[in-house]
Amino acid sequence: MNLRPPPSEDGTLTGLSYTPTKRDIYPLAVLVASRLSILALRIICQQMSQQIYDVIIIGAGAAGMMCGARAGMRGRKVLILDHAKAAGEKIRISGGGRCNFTNMYSGSENFISQNLHFCKSALAGFTPQDFIGLVETYGIAWHEKSKGQLFCNGRAGQIVQMLLDECAKGGNEVRLETDIHSIEKSDQDFVVCTSKGDFIAGALVVACGGPSIPKMGASGSGYRIAQKFGLNVIDPCPALVPLTFADCVKKSMRELAGVSVDVRVCYNKTVFEEALLFTHRGLSGPSILQISSYWSPGGSIIINLVPGTDMLSALKRARNNHPKQSPANVLSDFLPTRLAQSIVRGVLALRLADMSDAALMELAGRINKWTVTPAGSEGFRTAEVTRGGVDTRDLSSKTMQAKNVSGLYFIGEVVDVTGHLGGHNFQWAWASGIAAGNAL
Ligand SMILES: Cc1cc2nc3c(=O)[nH]c(=O)nc-3n(C[C@H](O)[C@H](O)[C@H](O)COP(=O)(O)OP(=O)(O)OC[C@H]3O[C@@H](n4cnc5c(N)ncnc54)[C@H](O)[C@@H]3O)c2cc1C
């Protein structure tokens, strides 16, 4: 096939004046078409090979990035998919913007789960000290606030950037704004169909957290994936969440909004001693957030507003020493004035001297044993975490792999392991991510 124009009489090529015939064009078209189809095939093949991974992780949050980085550094080809615009959004807003990234004393006693032993192995495999070591490698300054709670000195975004850098070190590919349409499993592989194409991997890690704070990209997708593959899911409910009063109580309590007091709060046998904050709608503050993770609708919590003080003895002493004092005045020695005034409402006596032992006992009870039956909670809209999730009985505690579905892993908040307030939830995310990352 000669594609060159005929030579001119003087032997030079005069291509400009040459007009090809139909016979000439046909082989040219065939050649171009065949070259193009080879090119197209090559592109498809290249794309195909790009879309085949060792591991696909759903969720570029705390657990997902930690897992991806570790698996990548172990030589696995990792793709992390997330439907959000940015990775690690919950980390960014955590700890009031400073990220309470771990707790030095994190242990299984700081977690709620139907199987409290489940978290032990992962927590032992990656400790708070290990995470502190990582943070320090990146020169991120931190401090202990109280009770072993470690916060960044600067912005929480430093932790997100650190995780992204770790993912990059592990050669991870992070694809954001990618909606997952379906997940299927063949004998060997998981096929994940998304808004950005289809991806294939031998292992799938579900790290999409719980449904708390949906506006941050949170979803219940992890539970649906678990159920699709036959895993049990313990009913998810909001945890670390403010509790609310019934409408009729709200009105009378509204005047207390903003008052904060150190309390001892009990629900059944669970006790926390931390601050309580009155809000316009109910109760919040660390003590209430902590107890909310144990509370069930309909249950009553008992609040000691002056832990360490026997109010009956204190009131009797005051009646002896200062009989003309008003009850509100005495209470103001122990409680913020607004709260003291609210508590004595309905007490008719103007002086302590006019109060019987029974009346003092009733008043002391309002302080040492204030019984509150919340109408509900603020729900997933504001809950920091989710209690419940993928049943730990269906997972290996060493690797986080589903016992009955080889290659399928669940890590982080999607699992039925819920930490107390104070950095424990992130410690679980890091530790469970590493446990899976080491096994992939
Ligand atoms: C306001 C707030 C403050 C907090 N502060 C602290 C704190 O200071 N210390 C602490 O220990 N814990 C804190 N927590 C809890 C902590 O953020 C979580 O426990 C932790 O982020 C859980 O990690 P995870 O990786 O399992 O889930 P997430 O960090 O929630 O990550 C899940 C990721 O999956 C993505 N995703 C979800 N569904 C899909 C889907 N269908 N398709 C694709 N992607 C999906 C999400 O966009 C997200 O990026 C806080 C939580 C909140 C809400």
pLDDT tens by residue, 357-376? 999 999 999 999 999 999 99
Answer yes or no: is the C-beta of 417 below 6 A from any ligand 1 atom: no
Give the mutation target among 225, 425, 428, 432 for probing the ligand 1 site: most ligand atoms within 8 A of CB: 425
Q: Which pLDDT does position 346 carry in this prediction?
A: 79
- What is the domain extent for residue 371? 243-377
Cβ of 80 below 6 Å from ligand 1 = no
Please, which pLDDT band fits residue 250 given cuts at 50, 70 and 90? confident
Closest by CA position to 430, among listed 117, 51, 119, 18 = 119
Residue ending a domain, among 377, 410, 428, is: 377
Same domain? For 133 and 182 the reply is yes
Ligand 1 binding pocket includes 60 (Cβ within 6 Å) = yes
pLDDT by residue (tens digit) across 62-113? 999 999 999 999 999 999 999 999 999 999 999 999 999 999 999 999 999 9
Band of residue 2 on the pLDDT scale cut at 50, 70, 90:
very low
CA nearest neighbour of 389 among 232, 182, 165, 207: 232
On whether both 80 and 228 belong to a single domain, the answer is: yes
Computed on alpha carbons and rounded to an integer, the radius of gyration of the chain in Å comes to 32
Per-chain mean pLDDT for the chain: 90
pLDDT, tens digit, 9 for 90 and up, residues 149-196 = 999 999 999 999 999 999 999 999 999 999 999 999 988 899 999 999
- Which pLDDT does position 16 carry in this prediction? 33
Single residue among 355, 377, 399 that ends a domain in this structure: 377
**Is 199 in the same domain as 165?**
yes
Number of residues assigned to the chain: 440
Which ligand 1 atom minimizes the distance to the CA of 217? 47
- Name beta bridge partners: 410: 206
CA-based nearest residue to 385, from 212, 237, 244, 243: 212
| CATH code of the domain in which 304 resides | 2.40.30.10
Q: Does residue 17 belong to any structural domain of this protein?
A: no
98 in a structural domain: yes
289 and 373 part of one domain = yes
**Distance, CA 392 to ligand 1 centroid (Å)?**
19
344 and 410 assigned to the same domain: no
Q: Tell me whether residue 37 is in a domain.
A: no
Residue 281: which residues within 8 A CB-CB, separation 6 or more? Answer: 242, 244, 245, 250, 378
CATH code, domain carrying 426: 3.50.50.60
User: How high is the pLDDT of residue 9?
Assistant: 34
Do 371 and 285 fall within a single domain? yes
Q: 178 and 145: one domain?
A: yes
Enter the DSSP assignment of 422: T
437: confidence class by pLDDT, cuts 50, 70, 90: very high
Question: In this prediction, what percent of the chain has a pLDDT beyond 70?
Answer: 89
Q: Distance from the CA of 431 to the center of ligand 1, in angstroms?
A: 14
Domain count, the chain: 2
Q: How far is the CA of 416 from the centre of ligand 1 (A)?
A: 14
Task: Read off the pTM.
Answer: 0.88
What share of the chain in percent tops pLDDT 90? Answer: 82
The SS3 of residue 333 is coil
16-26 tens-digit pLDDT: 334 445 555 55
